[in-house]
A and B are shown apart, each in its own frame.
Chain A
């Protein structure tokens, strides 16, 4: 089994269509998308604001429903059609397979940094509570925030918060990281710092999909695709 799934790409989007229902009528946010994400690549999804980047991301994180088509994930020896999973299985699956990072960090404000990082391990039950604490501290050390481990998110800067979000995304040691404009609300120096962190994660073998509107980042991805009005425009090759 393991060998057979290895030959498939990590994620396959087949004819994915997403329409939003609104008062003004049906709005086609994604128009028949076909896309494969390979293991170990650092994929950039680039597009202007409103192009459908977040919508696309939500399709393969399973956070939102699709209108038609299929998203198939091949991992840990299994092939799963994401949208056939129920909400619970999906949450558990996402917690173990995917680290999700948002532009607005989405840390829980009442928990300290270390507790925030421990949360996915607590939810998935993959680690013993004591072990998960050790691991959370290791991850915070990796993102150079160990000395702030017991502070609340409100007391650190935005760039630091995003690093905590990255540490949290890595908590269950998922094969894949998905990031929606993770540097969007950060200054350029901090943003670069975060980007370097991603590059190191790719080097250590993880698959990363990152959404950005910043075309300047294009050369730094291993591959990039451009999205305009819900359609994939160009596809950069593996460098």
Chain B
């Protein structure tokens, strides 16, 4: 090997700690970018393909019971390609021997063999359930442990308990996709309906359109026409949903989340390159003498520049060897995780060429860019400076600037020390030395502070954003304040239910609510969207709305409603007092908007009108299907217990209970998916913190290395190991604390920025930011820990140096 390459190789392998530090700092960035870019690609490819592969319905219609004949009418309808009828009803199941019930939506299918729309993918066991057998959607497994071949208990409306055989586990990525807050699904064939005491009729239509499967406008036209046809046949239509074949309903949300992660990945690359710049400029400084020797014996700038370029590329290649395989695995794991949560299948493990190339580009370019300036400077240095100049010195201008700064700092320090001493406060000498050392290399200190501060600020912000999001979900919970929601199959008199419920002393308040589905129309009379109209009594305390404009509902409102912010998507210029064309119970009407309130955007549009009006309009005055019950205590466990007790109690008394749900259960899944996002953000924040502390560790070891002689002299005059270690640790801690102080400040804009991005991505609306001390405390603890760790290793090696080694050091 030519000696010049031999030298490059030695530079690479002789100082393993430094090489590891540089390689890891590049690798962290490459890894982060690789994981995110890979996952992004895998998900955006597979989500639509895997979603489309199961032939998702473009149209879902929830309607009155209908039979096979009417299904054929729908099938023949113009523009409809395939249509399947289902009967969906809610029931409760539990494994034999368990006490806890799980609510599931049972989907009844005509013919599993002829399944064309919303295809089921087998996971284990059978795919076709026989009579009195059931298939479970994978999500059920999150609530209970069950395998094919086991038996479940199901509870019927009349309270009787039957058993059913679990034939298999399937995945249904289409049916549940529109509403991931809905209960998990289970599947039976029509001949099992008798077991559930259900009529052999259908209540839902799932259909695909013939053309324009990815054209929402076209789907809407077909849907509107079909709805009209159905209503003409005297069936009532409830909610309807539209979805595109090649777009998972949650795609934009997932992409937004990945976008945020990508931004953090870029930040990590950025931070790690400043760390590399730091390490490389120290390396070049240490190599100044070598460069001088090579120039003395005939080395030209070009050769030396090339040698260090190769060294930089070697750092890059080594980091790629670490980061690319890990990044590929990580990308797939992240994609798998998201796919699992969102209920679609990936198309299999693969290397994503795009992310592969991005990683290679980042891994090679980052060290080149970060090392360019130090390498240029190093290769241009003159022989005289390189050989005669002290080997720890920087180039002359910097050294001079540094000397001035240093003496100023010394001066200030002297003054401060004197002032403190006058007041009886004495700073120990090692501490003084540390303080001065910290400021000795300003450029390096700045870079170290920068990385550590960015890491800390990101870390703190993630905690703030977490609380902000949870607080927002809790605010949304202000619309669901009841402890138990009790739904019946038939309407009962409100006074009767109230009297009944009140016999349980734990019940403190009962309200009967009404409900109505409605369509929001465009001015031209075409359907724009569904709106769920909830109708609590006007004076209800169980809704605590966050008004954006106007007022809340009042008892004597007629054809007036408050509506959620989502309306602005359809009517951007809507103002309070405007009239909105609605189609309620098949009649086109004009309702006055009296108020607009805040609500999670992706839930669709929600409206409120007073019970007093809606119940009369539905000829259900003083009666209701649905009740909100307030209990003595409001914690989760208590609500669950009360829901079970109420359910059992009303069933035993002969009421046709459909479902009793504990108050916060709908919010749980929302919080759950937020937590997934938060945990990703936290991982990224931790990575930035790791990069920051690697920077600190690098800086500390460089500082220690450059002070080898000084340490030797300290030892020669009797400093103990502990005193030297303490001196280095104090210096590390000082840097950590300064960055903590800066991080506190920087976390404020970071928090605002991050929560704006996250909330507009998920809730489609900016939300009020909340700060929590938790992130600050955890980061304080972490930064202390990291600073000490980052200093201990260099400190120990400094303490281990013998006087002879130190004085021999050049």
Contact = CB atoms under 8 A, between A and B. Distances in A.
Interface of A: 58, 63-64, 87-88, 91-92, 94-96, 100, 102, 106-108, 110-111, 115-116, 118-120, 122-124, 129, 168, 171-172
A119 B290 CA distance: 12
A91 B299 contact: yes
B294 A123 contact: yes
A64 B384 contact: yes
B301 to A, nearest CB: 6
Given A64-B384, A88-B302, A106-B387, A100 B297 contact: yes
Given A106-B387, A110-B11, A91 B3 contact: no
Closest 6 CB pairs of A and B: A95-B298, A110-B10, A123-B298, A120-B297, A115-B3, A64-B384
B2 interface: yes
Contacts of B298: 91-92, 94-96, 120, 123-124, 172
Contacts of B14: 110
Contacts of A107: 293
B6 interface: yes
A59 to B, nearest CB: 11
B299 A123 contact: yes
A79 B384 CA distance: 24
B290 A108 contact: yes
B387 A102 contact: yes
A122 B11 CA distance: 18
Contacts of A91: 295, 298-301, 383
A207 to B, nearest CB: 18
A19 B186 CA distance: 94
A108 B301 contact: no
Given A92-B300, A96-B298, A122-B2, A87 B382 contact: yes
Interface in B378-429: 382-384, 387
Contacts of A124: 298
Interface string B164-202: 000000000000000000000000000000000000000
Nearest to A118: B3
Contacts of B11: 110
A54 to B, nearest CB: 8
A118 B292 CA distance: 17
A110 B7 contact: yes
Contact of A123 (B289, B297, B383, B387): B297
Contacts of B293: 106-108
A96 B300 CA distance: 12
Contacts of B716: none
Contacts of B297: 94-95, 100, 119-120, 123, 168, 171
B4 interface: yes
B303 interface: yes
B10 A111 contact: yes
B296 interface: yes
* SS of A interface (majority): helix
A95 B299 contact: yes
A119 B383 contact: no
Nearest to A89: B300
Specify which of A118, A120, A122, A168 lies most central, judged by the most chain B CB atoms within 10 Å of its CB. Answer: A122
Nearest to A168: B297
A118 B6 CA distance: 11
A111 B3 contact: yes
A114 to B, nearest CB: 9
B9 to A, nearest CB: 9
A120 B387 CA distance: 17
A204 B383 CA distance: 30
Given A58-B384, A106-B387, A108-B293, A87 B301 contact: yes
A129 B2 contact: yes
Contacts of A171: 297
A124 to B, nearest CB: 5
Given A111-B3, A111-B7, A123-B4, 18 more contacts: A63-B296, A64-B384, A87-B382, A88-B301, A91-B300, A94-B298, A100-B297, A102-B387, A106-B293, A108-B7, A108-B294, A115-B3, A115-B6, A116-B3, A120-B298, A123-B297, A124-B298, A172-B298
A31 B302 CA distance: 35
A180 to B, nearest CB: 10
Contacts of A119: 3-4, 7, 294, 297
A235 B292 CA distance: 33
Given A88-B300, A106-B296, A111 B384 contact: no
10 contacts: A63-B383, A100-B297, A106-B387, A115-B6, A116-B3, A118-B2, A119-B3, A122-B2, A122-B3, A124-B298
Contacts of A120: 297-298
Contacts of B292: 106
Interface in B342-356: none
A117 B2 CA distance: 11
A172 B298 CA distance: 10
Interface in B267-322: 289-290, 292-303
A78 B277 CA distance: 44
A115 B294 CA distance: 12
B334 to A, nearest CB: 41
Interface in B533-587: none
Contacts of B296: 63, 94, 100, 106
A129 B1 CA distance: 8
A102 to B, nearest CB: 7
A101 to B, nearest CB: 10
B291 to A, nearest CB: 10
Contacts of A118: 2-3
Most buried by A among B290, B293, B382: B293
A64 B289 CA distance: 15
A171 B263 CA distance: 55
